[in-house]
Amino acid sequence: MKNLKKIMLLGIATVSVITFTSAVKATWEVPAKYKTMKNPTDAKNAENITVGKTLYAKHCASCHGKKGLGDGSKAPELKGDLGDFSSAEFQKQTDGEIFYKMIDGRDDMPAFVKKIASEEDRWLIVNFVRTLKK
Domain map (residue ranges) of the chain: 29-129
Task: Answer whether 124's CB lies under 8 Å from 55's CB.
Answer: yes
Give the pLDDT band of residue 20 (cuts 50, 70, 90).
Answer: very low
* Nearest by Cα to 132 from 51, 56, 62: 56
Statement: residue 100 has pLDDT above 90: yes
Yes or no: is domain 29-129 CATH 3.20.20.70?
Answer: no
pLDDT, averaged across the chain: 87
How many residues are present in the chain? 134
Q: DSSP state, 109? A: B
| CB-side neighbour CA atoms (13 Å) of 27 | 7
Statement: residue 19 has pLDDT above 70: no
Q: What value does the mean pLDDT take over residues 88-101?
A: 97
Statement: residue 16 has pLDDT above 70: no
Task: Answer whether 75's CB lies under 8 Å from 63's CB.
Answer: yes
User: How far is the C-alpha of 109 from the C-alpha of 63, rounded, in Å?
Assistant: 9
Q: CB atoms < 10 A from the CB of 69, how many?
A: 16
- pLDDT for the residue numbered 134: 80
Task: Answer whether 48's CB lies under 8 Å from 42's CB.
Answer: yes
